[in-house]
A and B are shown apart, each in its own frame.
Chain A
């Protein structure tokens, strides 16, 4: 399969007057087309930094990042980013929120507007297109945020703990929903999370990072035996516990 992301010896340092902090140390891995990869690691290990680097908001101190064989030099239309909170703008209606990426990229026209409406229709938000975000439930807001990301038609989705602001029940339901949408739209996705079950149930591969400076500790190819594979059915697979225990041990949490 085609490689979408290639990380080649990427390092990242943060500078402040107090000194230099190494956040990421010579990290290399590839992400294939259509893969769903999760990245877990101890908190503060530089997971979010990694996504910022891939998205081109930050520049690596050393190394190269290639997206579809092209070096990342800044934000690109190929990449969609989802953050912890939905960050829908309260002063814009849902449809106006959804097309904000098109507006920024100067690609808003009748055709792209129609395709945004189509996405809303497909994922059950069309009737709410003229509502304001505060009139929607947390789950619907998160769905709207995903549609906002999809409207710009990226090949790669970066998910930065997108469910962590939701309560547990909503979180399970929404992660299922979002996973189905991502699979249906045939997108490649990288999920950063600290929830081990979430990582195992959603991914084809889980990358475990060490604490700062982040290096790869281990990589798990997730193979679960279950019918109609979705995040919720995955949790019932016999292998689930095995992966959970090994990743938990790898993370080596001390409180």
Chain B
């Protein structure tokens, strides 16, 4: 690294102003966060809003503590996380495999194109009751739900990445006499790792949608279940708490995919 004395005063000022800007951004973010919860708490205490309907941070905290004591909070969060991870990993892997098949056979890709367009436009959650009847009210049907929501968009985006692969790079391999399998392995797949990872990023969110809808419909476990159950028995503290835990879980999942992306792009 450079010695600090190497920098001119101008450069030191530049670094300083950059750092203070970043600090101001983080500071404002934290202030907004604290303000929201603080105002929420006060407003509920002063009865400006009805805490029975709007809930309240302190009540949510109490619910967290009660549910943590019997371990059920961890069970519900864990179940949702598990279903989501299985859903988006399966969605990405199966979607990529199907994209490979479509890339391999131009005929099949052309034939299936309108089906994919329609399936992509269809809100997959509409199939929830169908899945429930076909597969039953188990974790399996929730994972299928998550898979359904994410797989079509994966197929479409990864396939389009495959077909936009640089023609000249393929030509280069062909001049060495490469066959289709070698072209796939040596250029189409590796050059599309960014596309696959961006599909993974999208799928984290989509898969969560599938899981929560699935849990609304069938389950006896999971954050989706807590939300729907809390709503039915009018325990808004439980609903709000579950939503916030869900937000944290979603953010953590997204960050871990970002981390994977960083690792992979570093390798490339």
Contact = CB atoms under 8 A, between A and B. Distances in A.
Interface of A: 52, 55, 57, 74-77, 79-81, 83-85, 87, 89-91, 100-101, 103-105, 152, 158
B182 interface: yes
Interface string B159-173: 000000010110111
Q: Could you tell me the dominant secondary structure of chain B's interface residues? A: helix
A196 B168 CA distance: 24
A49 B166 CA distance: 18
Given A89-B187, A89-B190, A91-B268, A100 B169 contact: no
A87 B168 contact: yes
Interface string B170-181: 011111111000
Chain A CB count within 10 A is highest, among B173, B176, B177, B186, for B176
B268 A101 contact: no
A75 B175 contact: yes
B174 to A, nearest CB: 5
Interface residues of B, number: 19
Contact of A57 (B175, B182, B268): B175
B190 A80 contact: no
B172 A81 contact: yes
9 contacts: A55-B175, A75-B175, A77-B177, A87-B168, A89-B169, A89-B191, A91-B191, A91-B193, A91-B267
B11 to A, nearest CB: 26
Interface of B: 166, 168-169, 171-178, 182, 186-187, 190-191, 193, 267-268
Given A91-B190, A91-B268, A101 B176 contact: yes
Nearest to B267: A91
Given A91-B190, A91-B268, A104-B182, A75 B177 contact: yes
A194 B187 CA distance: 29
Contact of B169 (A76, A77, A87): A87
A-B pairs, top 3 by smallest CB distance, nearest first, are A81-B175, A75-B177, A91-B268
A105 B268 contact: no
Given A89-B191, A90-B268, A91-B191, 6 more contacts: A52-B171, A57-B175, A76-B177, A81-B171, A87-B169, A91-B193
Contacts of A76: 177
B197 to A, nearest CB: 13
